[in-house]
């Protein structure tokens, strides 16, 4: 995988929001939601973004497809040798290029327009991009897409309210794939779903990735989910990448105290393990008013003088020839604790949630919640 050129290369990406107050919109601060993020994503892989609420994951995910305008930085897509700098495109060029990029949102209850039926929802991008010539072609393509996400094409005339959460998310996935995109941002695609259907949707996303040669940026909170889906993981803290490496390495041998603290909060299924839990005191720093030095230092149990004074660079500590980045002054000195050598948390959790369910929603069935009503 690493032999190929990256599908996406992001350099020094920044997204700042100006915070204003009152009706005169007096500027009271700058929210540095994403600050100087640089990374790449290889073709066919899943890069996960993890971090506490407000760390900038959604902002980063949306900026790299220009769903929101980045403040500065380079975003270069390479589709088989043809490079496109996304930030250099004008409005018309951007619309044309955006057909290759897609997004799946967290909440399938608010992301699907309740007044549109499935045919209209899934077919909308096809109509917008004139990808079909007539209604017949539209219906055929929508049926194909529903089949792809294992929903019965006969449900095409129904409205979102007639579907369960998992089914709605599959409708959202069908819509996201309508134009055969190459790159998909999945922003917490299963966080709003019942645990019992999370694994179905995750498995569907994995299966579609292999079948359609998709590359994913996967935003998530749940480390078990991330370990299950992601080849590499980036940990974000207050708009900055704190750590980035192969998921296995980041989970087993974390190189940043923030990662260690996040990992220690994952339930280990062993009551004694609770004693090892590192309690993250205080809230994440405010991206509009960041601490001096390392942004994590006020919450870090290893913090030294240098951490309060100097911001650590994101350095590479390669393992087995693979990149492993950490922005910690003491990355090479600390022996941080990861998830250990036992069964990875995700596998155990995925087994638990997969076990009692049927095949992922065959013909729309297989989910216990909200049965299909007449539509």
Ligand X SMILES: Nc1ncnc2c1ncn2[C@@H]1O[C@H](COP(=O)(O)OP(=O)(O)OP(=O)(O)O)[C@@H](O)[C@H]1O
The residue within the footprint of Mg ion, chosen from 43, 51, 55, 58 (CB under 5 A), is 58
- 231 near 52, Cβ under 8 Å? no
In the complex, least distance from residue 315 CB atom to Mg ion, rounded to whole angstroms: 27
The residue within the footprint of ligand X, chosen from 10, 45, 47, 57 (CB under 6 A), is 57
- 243 near 326, Cβ under 8 Å? yes
- Determine how many CB atoms are found less than 10 A away from the CB of residue 250: 31
Out of ligand X, Mg ion, none, what residue 181 binds, judged by CB under 5 to 8 A for its kind, is none
DSSP three-state, residue 336: coil
In the complex, least distance from residue 324 CB atom to ligand X, rounded to whole angstroms: 22
Q: Considering the rule CB under 6 A, would residue 58 count as an interface residue with ligand X?
A: yes
Q: Considering the rule CB under 6 A, would residue 63 count as an interface residue with ligand X?
A: no
Q: Could you give the angle at the alpha carbon of 338 between the alpha carbons of 335 and 340, nearest 5°?
A: 110
Q: Considering the rule CB under 6 A, would residue 200 count as an interface residue with ligand X?
A: no
Q: Which residue number, 17 or 302, has a Cβ lying nearer to ligand X?
A: 17
Judged by CB under 6 A, the chain residues 269 through 298 that form the site for ligand X are 287
Q: Considering the rule CB under 5 A, would residue 247 count as an interface residue with Mg ion?
A: no
H/E stretch holding 246 reads strand 240-246
Q: Considering the rule CB under 6 A, would residue 55 count as an interface residue with ligand X?
A: yes
The residue within the footprint of ligand X, chosen from 23, 53, 82, 281 (CB under 6 A), is 53
The residue within the footprint of ligand X, chosen from 40, 41, 59, 233 (CB under 6 A), is 59
- Determine how many CB atoms are found less than 10 A away from the CB of residue 145: 23
The residue within the footprint of ligand X, chosen from 8, 10, 13, 31 (CB under 6 A), is 31
Burial 190-216 (b: 16+ CB within 10 A, else e): bebbbebbbbbbbbbbeebbeeeebbb
Strand partners, 232: 47, 246
- 7 near 41, Cβ under 8 Å? yes
Distance CA 95, CA 116 (A): 23
Out of Mg ion, ligand X, none, what residue 55 binds, judged by CB under 5 to 8 A for its kind, is ligand X
Contact region with ligand X (CB under 6 A), list: 53-61, 72-80, 199-207, 323-331: 53-61
Query: 240-246 and 324-326 as β-strands: parallel, antiparallel, unpaired?
Result: antiparallel
- 46 near 213, Cβ under 8 Å? no
> How many residues touch ligand X (CB under 6 A)?
12
Q: Considering the rule CB under 6 A, would residue 33 count as an interface residue with ligand X?
A: yes
In the complex, least distance from residue 118 CB atom to ligand X, rounded to whole angstroms: 27
Residues of this chain that interact with ligand X (CB under 6 A) are: 17, 31, 33, 51, 53-59, 287
Q: Which residues bind Mg ion (CB under 5 A)?
A: 58
């Amino acid at each position: 995988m690493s032999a190929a050129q990256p599908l996406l290369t992001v350099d020094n990406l920044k997204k700042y929001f100006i915070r204003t107050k009152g009706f005169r919109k007096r500027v009271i601060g700058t929210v540095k939601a994403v600050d100087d993020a640089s990374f790449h994503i290889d073709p066919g892989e899943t890069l996960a973004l993890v971090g506490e609420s407000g760390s900038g994951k959604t902002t980063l995910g949306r900026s790299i497809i220009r769903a929101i305008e980045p403040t500065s930085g380079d975003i270069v897509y390479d589709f088989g040798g043809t490079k496109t700098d996304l930030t250099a495109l004008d409005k018309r060029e951007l619309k044309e290029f955006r057909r290759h990029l897609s997004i799946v949102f967290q909440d399938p209850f608010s992301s699907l327009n309740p007044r549109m039926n499935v045919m209209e929802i899934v077919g909308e991008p096809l109509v917008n991009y004139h990808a079909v010539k007539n209604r017949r072609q539209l219906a055929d393509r929508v049926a194909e897409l529903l089949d792809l996400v294992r929903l019965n094409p006969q449900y095409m005339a129904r409205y979102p309210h007639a579907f369960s959460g998992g089914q709605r998310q599959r409708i959202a996935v069908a819509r996201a794939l309508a134009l055969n995109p190459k790159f998909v941002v999945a922003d917490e695609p299963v966080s709003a779903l019942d645990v019992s259907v999370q694994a179905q949707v995750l498995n569907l996303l994995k299966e579609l990735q292999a079948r359609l040669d998709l590359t994913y940026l996967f935003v998530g909170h749940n480390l078990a989910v991330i370990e299950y889906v992601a080849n590499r993981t980036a940990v974000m803290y207050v708009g900055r990448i704190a750590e980035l490496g192969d998921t296995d390495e980041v989970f087993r041998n974390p190189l940043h105290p923030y990662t260690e603290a996040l990992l220690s909060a994952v339930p280990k299924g062993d009551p004694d393990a609770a004693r090892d839990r590192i309690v993250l005191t205080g809230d994440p720093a405010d991206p509009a008013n960041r601490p001096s030095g390392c942004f994590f230092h006020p919450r870090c149990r290893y913090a030294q003088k240098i951490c309060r004074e100097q911001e650590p660079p994101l350095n590479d500590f390669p393992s087995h020839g693979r990149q492993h980045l950490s922005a910690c002054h003491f990355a090479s000195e600390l022996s941080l604790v990861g998830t250990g050598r036992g069964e990875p948390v995700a596998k155990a959790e995925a087994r638990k949630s997969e076990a009692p369910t049927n095949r992922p929603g065959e013909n729309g069935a297989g989910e216990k919640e909200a049965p299909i009503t007449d539509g």
